[in-house]
Amino acid sequence: MDDLLPLLRAWMPAQRWYAAKGGEPALRLVDVRETPSPEPGALVRTLLVADGATLYQVPVVVRPAVPAQTIPAHAIGTLPDGSVLLDGVHDEAFTNALLSGLTGAPVARAAHVLAGEQSNTSVIYPAHGRETAVICKVFRQLHDGLNPDIELQTALSSAGSPYVPAVVGHVEGTWRDGGAAHAGSFAFAQEFLSGVEDAWRVALRAATAGTPFAESAFALGRATSAVHADLARLFPAPAADAAARAAVAAAWERRLRLATAEVPGLVAHADGIRAVYAAAGDAHWPALQRVHGDYHLGQVILVPQRGWVLLDFEGEPLRPIEERRRADVPVRDVAGMLRSFDYIAGSLAREGHDAAAWTRDARDAFREGYGPVDPLLLAAFELDKAVYEALYETRNRPDWVGIPLAAVQRLAAA
């Protein structure tokens, strides 16, 4: 298998899901697992490839040699014996084997990859006969423990929640690395709701046209509140005691120190930010519970005759799985959605459109639909999110940093 690594070193850095941009990969092959292939001429394998402390899942298909001019665009490279190593998610031998493993039945269905994803790869199986459309997320980075996307959506779907897609199944697996045994999530499949748009596109179009959005935002708040209520019922919901509050406050402070070191525009507001954080310590804190963890308009879709449906309960991908599975403050999700609405106004302002009133009405309607939240606690979580956004924009899109900085100024002054 040593002949695989040179091909992977050249190919992996160009993939969207590869995290270590700009450096020379230091890859090592941790495991190679064979999968029964639905085609006699194709070998289906899943490679577990480590790059430092990060472990990647790389499904591949090996097919016989073909003329150079007919090698598919999704080829990783040519092996010494002339056979072609292909990116499995783009090859029907792997995609059919994956769905067969999830459903327990032989499958022969056309599939394609969802474009634009950053950290994972989703394979779409369109509706076929009486079979509904399916989307299967292949987790590219593997971690110990059950992925919260699987855990939370499976619990909500099993409980009959109308606000998440129906679950088809998931793939768990084990591996060994350096003598240690590990177990984690490899893939997750659920119904695919086609012909829909995410809430960011729906809201942005409405804001651009000046179409009122308060009714839709209110419904989104109600959907968010219902999902939070189900999660609080389905999973442990401990009280937010002094230790829990102190841990949240310490995280706020760590992020603020990090951000002020890189974002000059935050320095003048640091005292005001800390005053809001201090006031939140005496606010009314709800019980801790499982939450979405990375909630914004791009994580919600509008389904005709059904309404808002929430997606991607994986949490922030850069945080460890163990941390993402802890009970958290549900206000974090509320603040994340409010910041997302604020970005609607900010992005349109960059194009010369004034959507401040539209955004204010949408934010107010979302809060009303969600229900009572202590305003001091909400201000603190929204500030923390805006501080994070200011750091992110400074590092990645400096021209956009004015959007979170305006929110910081508003919230810190209030």
143-195 residue pLDDT tens = 999 999 999 999 999 999 999 999 999 999 999 998 899 999 999 999 999 88
Reported as a pLDDT band with limits 50, 70 and 90, residue 2 is low
Contact status, residue 235 vs residue 288, Cβ threshold 8 Å: no
Output b/e per residue, 330-368; b: 16+ Cβ within 10 A: bbbbbbbbbbbbbbbbbbbbeeeeebeebbeebbbbbbe
pLDDT digits (tens, 9 = 90+) for 351-403: 999 999 999 999 999 999 999 999 999 999 999 999 999 999 999 999 999 99
Going by pLDDT thresholds of 50, 70 and 90, the confidence category of residue 340 is very high
pLDDT score for 101: 92
What's the pTM? 0.91
Q: How are the residues of the chain apportioned to helix, strand and coil, as percentages rounded to the nearest 5?
A: 45, 20, 35
Is residue 150 within 8 A of residue 188, CB to CB? The reply is yes
Going by pLDDT thresholds of 50, 70 and 90, the confidence category of residue 256 is very high
- The secondary element (H helix, E strand) that includes residue 104 is none
Task: Kindly indicate the confidence band of residue 83, based on its pLDDT and cuts at 50, 70 and 90.
Answer: very high
Split at pLDDT 50, 70, 90, the class of 1 is low
**Structure tokens of 146?**
């059950």
Among residues 141, 139, 132, which one has the least CA distance to residue 165?
132
What does the block give as tokens for 373?
A: 């939240």
DSSP 340-396: HHHHHHHHHHTTT---HHHHHHHHHHHHHHH----HHHHHHHHHHHHHHHHHHHHHH
CB 144 within 8 A of CB 184: yes
Q: Is the pLDDT of residue 292 over 80?
A: yes
Give me 28's structure tokens: 């090592």
Backbone angles phi, psi at 114, to 5 degrees: -70, 125
Nearest to 4 by CA among 80, 94, 68, 95: 80
